[in-house]
Amino acid sequence: MGAFANLFSRRHQLVRAVNQISFTIDRGEIVGYLGPNGAGKSTTIKMLTGILVPTSGEVHVNGFIPHRQRTDNAKQIGVVFGQRTHLWFDLPVEESFDLLRHIYHIPVSRYHENLDLFNQILGLDEFFRTPVRQLSLGQRMRADIAAALLHDPEIVFLDEPTIGLDIVVKNRIRQFITQINQERGVTIILTTHDLDDVEKLCRRVILIDQAKIIFDGQLNALRNSLSTERLLVVDFAEDYDDICLPKAQIVRREKQRVHYRFSTDQVATAELIRNMLSQFNVADVSIQKPEIEEIVRMIYEKPLDL
């Protein structure tokens, strides 16, 4: 009945997926483009790759307007979507790569040179003659990243390239991205929810929320902007029902270990610890600066004026 009723009275809502987003990325940069689900990251990437047409404003990628010069733009970019593959499912990886060689008109000598380099870092030989549909997630991601770089693109868009992978495969992929960037000057735009990727690969981050940029700058500047924030990690010697501390927020609790967040602008560290020791029996305590994941969470909860 609902579907039938919609034929006569449909409701429409206009949603701005991106709203006056503006940034410039220099050649050879690795930039983390971060934000919660629905923030507008994928829409931005689709405009940069020419898949979507912006309703206003201008998009330029290395001198091309992506939605108007899609073929020229496609020749200079590589794209990896972590949850999709652009390889042929029923073909072995080897034949998929050979098809890409013909599509991009890659010289044979350059193709084999790239293949040898990619194999050294990513270990492609172990599954090179296996059909794509039979690959594990980690193997497919390694093949997808290599395929995206076969034609020597100047710009690579990586959308969740390490999603669902184990630590060994993640390290291989991070090593590969770093080497390609340093040796060939490839510009890389990385969207990810894995903030370990950001810390290990990116110096600059762009944070987007509700279709707007809320931060664009160096990762160190982002850390320094919240230099007054601290994490207090406490191992209680006993179980307590009420472990609240004045001017400190409980971030998470793992049995008798509790993580608090506090600001040195609001309470001195010594005062907070003294107050805690007067109320509870404590086995261990440590003070930490927040990791990047905590910093991003803080910004989403209370955007900064940066």
Q: What is the pLDDT of residue 98?
A: 95
- At 165, give phi and psi (nearest 5°): -95, 155
Cβ–Cβ < 8 Å for 291, 195: yes
Does the CA dihedral 223-226-227-230 come out positive or negative? negative
Residues contacting 300, CB < 8 A, separation 6+ = 36, 209
Residue of 173, 184, 186 lying closest to 124 (CA atoms): 173
Q: What is the pLDDT of residue 161?
A: 84
Residue whose token pair is 């086995």: 283
pLDDT tens column, 62-88: 999 999 999 999 999 999 887 778 899
Q: What is the pLDDT of residue 180?
A: 92
State which residues of the chain have pLDDT below 50: 306
pLDDT tens column, 256-273: 999 998 988 888 889 999
Q: What is the pLDDT of residue 172?
A: 87
Q: What is the pLDDT of residue 292?
A: 65
